[in-house]
Structures are given as structure tokens and as C-alpha cells.
Chains A and B, each alone.
Chain A
Amino acid sequence: GAVVSQHPSRVICKSGTSVKIECRSLDFQATTMFWYRQFPKQSLMLMATSNEGSKATYEQGVEKDKFLINHASLTLSTLTVTSAHPEDSSFYICSATTGTGTYEQYFGPGTRLTVT
């Protein structure tokens, strides 16, 4: 099956710093990638939809200047949390789809961000 990786799997950063999370489709080209956020014992909340070569579409309530998304190639999307604060601590998960009529999204293993 299609594989999506995320790096890093865990990151701890200090308040005020920025952290970048990478999402890669390893064996397929992903025209669309999605970024989700998940708080402990809660469901996934979609943050943004990213199409290769175009600007990401953010969900209502998600600050685009705080969560910078870049989808520069068909196999890589990055999420940068800028000026991180403790309330940004969460589990961030990406998913990818080929967008060619397949219904399935392939999920990465997630990145645990802790802001101290």
C-alpha cells in the first residue's frame, strides 16, 4: 500500500521558536495533502488542504500566518508552526491522496509537538 512518512516523529521546542514538520509520500505522487491536528483523546480536526504548487486552503479558525504550509513537490508538504506556544502542543498528522479518483487518504504516523 501507499506509504506516507512524517519527520520528526517527536519534537520539543521552546516558546517563541518555529518548528517544521515534513510529510512525504514515499511511493506515490500526492497531488493533495491534508494536515490535521489531534488533541489527546479527541478526534482529528482538519487544519488545511494543500495542493501541489498552489496555496493551501485553511479551515475556519486556523491562522495561516501561524501554520505555514508549503507543498512544493508532489511528494513533500511541510507544516511550519511559527512562534510556537504551549497551546500549540498537539499531535499533527498529515495525509495524502493521489486525487485521481481514489477515495482513500493515506495517513502519516503523526508528529508529537511539545512546546515548553
Chain B
Amino acid sequence: SQQGEEDPQALSIQEGENATMNCSYKTSINNLQWYRQNSGRGLVHLILIRSNEREKHSGRLRVTLDTSKKSSSLLITASRAADTASYFCATEETSGSRLTFGEGTQLTVNP
């Protein structure tokens, strides 16, 4: 089955609110990455967290990783309408190997 399950599948919030998306995976990983995809476009890399890291920040993004639970979360603070997109987690089992993507969360930020 697909490595990387995300919830919720869809999330609709108001501008200024925080958005939290979760990702679970099944195997041991080297790192976990979060990507953003606007409709009909390619993927944009947001943040990478290594298996020995527990939390990482980048601007309004905060990612956590719990390897004991095989889960990760992406928090977007003070959301903006421009944050509307699909967000995918992806796991890499070993360095330089294939990425396995989760099902994605469709985030809609209403102005």
C-alpha cells in the first residue's frame, strides 16, 4: 500500500488561521520532505527533516517528526489566501533513493 498517508484530505480555513496537516508512513526513513503543488503545476520543495531531527522551522512553516509513531506534521501559521494548494509529504528511505509520496492534503485558505 501507499507509503505516506495524509490527513485531512481536505482542509478549509480562514486567512490568518493556522493549518495543520499530518502524514504517517510505514517504513524506516532517512528523511521526510514536504512539498507544495499549485493546481496543474509542478512541486515546490518546502522543507526537509532528517530522521534524527524532531522539529524544524522555515518562515511560517513548522514541521515535526516522530519516528516512534512514524508520523510528521506540517503547520502553516498565519495562513494567507496564497497558501491555497495541495501539500504532500514524501519519504526517502535511504539517501538519494526514490521518494514515496503521500496522498496529499488540499488546503483552501479563504480570504
A contact set with B: CB distance below 8 Å: 6, 32, 34, 41-46, 49, 91, 93, 95, 97, 99, 101-110, 112
Q: List chain A residues, Cβ under 8 A from B45.
A: 104-107
Kindly state the interface size class of chain B when it binds its partner.
Answer: 20 to 34
A96 to chain B, nearest CB (A): 12
A107 touches B42 (CB 8 A): yes
B98 touches A103 (CB 8 A): no
B42 touches A34 (CB 8 A): no
In the A-B complex, list the 5 residue pairs whose CB atoms are closest, starting with the nearest: A109-B42, A107-B43, A107-B42, A44-B101, A43-B101
Q: List chain B residues, Cβ under 8 A from A108.
A: 42
B40 touches A91 (CB 8 A): yes
A44 and B36 alpha carbons, distance in the complex (Å): 12
B79 to chain A, nearest CB (A): 21
A21 to chain B, nearest CB (A): 13
- Quick one: which of B65-111 are within 8 Å of A by CB? 88, 92, 95-96, 98-104, 106
- 19 A-B residue pairs with Cβ-Cβ distance under 8 Å, sorted by A, are A6-B42, A32-B96, A34-B98, A43-B4, A44-B43, A44-B88, A46-B100, A93-B42, A99-B96, A101-B95, A103-B30, A103-B48, A103-B50, A103-B96, A104-B33, A107-B42, A107-B43, A107-B44, A112-B40
